[in-house]
């Protein structure tokens, strides 16, 4: 059976202030390759039909020459400028997708994404229409009040740490974003699932991810990413 056409939006427009580096986190090199390289490679290996890379306006040509062309990423169909917030960048990516049934939205600073997680996500988006890679929380989680005191302790078995990719039927997520931007709702959107949860009646499935699928955010994350990438080679 021929697989449905799939696209991926890879986000690399963040400033990476918490990395405390003159080089943005997505371009820091691990084993002589930028972090972003590994995220793009994962989707090419998976056989994604088209990849839209979203980056800073001033970095488009750099990404084209030093990453896409240098490493021969044949499935990158467009490199577009992101927006002020993450959700603006996602929407720019959605508009640049040519044609697909399902779209994977992934942080370019998650270089350790594995093929099994991508397969799990594809399976669940086919069944449920919306899913996010996630792992059960290992620690007890506390919800704090405004003064920083414990307010609620949710049952640990119900708490998951959400990752990317977040995968949706393309028409569903595109419409959800259009409704959000047309509304007057002021929401602190931190992931794409929130857009679907708030502006459609579709439930989002939590898909089994991988604890190694970390986001490179601070200097402490780099040694871990090095270990995980070496183990997966």
Q: Are 177 and 87 in contact (CB under 8 A)?
A: yes
* Average predicted confidence (pLDDT) for the chain: 93
| Mean pLDDT of the 90-107 span | 97
pLDDT digits (tens, 9 = 90+) for 62-85: 999 999 999 999 999 999 999 989
| 138-192: pLDDT as tens digits | 999 999 999 999 999 999 999 999 999 999 999 999 999 999 999 877 678 899 9
Q: Are 131 and 33 in contact (CB under 8 A)?
A: no
For the question of whether the overall pTM of this predicted structure is more than 0.85, the answer is yes
pLDDT value at residue 9: 98
Q: What's the burial of 60, exposed, middle or buried (CB within 10 Å: 0-12/13-18/19+)?
A: middle
Is a pLDDT exceeding 90 seen at residue 21?
A: no
Average pLDDT over residues 214-230: 93
Q: What is the pLDDT of residue 233?
A: 77
Nearest to 191 by CA among 48, 51, 87, 119: 87
């Amino acid at each position: 059976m021929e697989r449905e056409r799939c696209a991926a939006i890879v986000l690399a427009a963040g400033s990476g202030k918490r990395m405390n580096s003159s080089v943005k986190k997505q371009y820091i090199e691990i084993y002589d390759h930028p972090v972003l390289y590994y995220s793009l490679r994962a989707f090419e290996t998976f056989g994604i039909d088209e990849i839209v890379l979203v980056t800073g306006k001033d970095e488009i040509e750099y990404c084209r020459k030093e990453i896409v062309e240098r490493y021969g990423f044949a499935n990158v169909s467009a490199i577009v400028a992101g927006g002020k917030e993450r959700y603006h960048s996602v929407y720019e990516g959605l508009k640049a997708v040519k044609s697909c049934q399902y779209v994977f939205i992934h942080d370019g600073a998650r270089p350790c994404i594995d093929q099994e997680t991508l397969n799990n996500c594809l399976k669940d988006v086919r069944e449920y229409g919306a899913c996010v890679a996630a792992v059960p929380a290992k620690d007890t989680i506390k919800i704090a009040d405004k003064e920083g005191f414990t307010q609620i302790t949710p049952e640990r078995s119900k708490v998951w740490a959400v990752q990317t990719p977040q995968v949706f039927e393309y028409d569903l997520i595109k419409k959800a974003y259009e409704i959000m931007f047309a509304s007057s709702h002021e929401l602190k959107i931190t992931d794409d699932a929130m857009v679907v949860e708030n502006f459609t009646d579709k439930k989002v499935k939590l898909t089994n991810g991988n604890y190694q699928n970390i986001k490179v955010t601070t200097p402490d994350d780099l040694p871990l990413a090095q270990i995980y990438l070496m183990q997966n080679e």
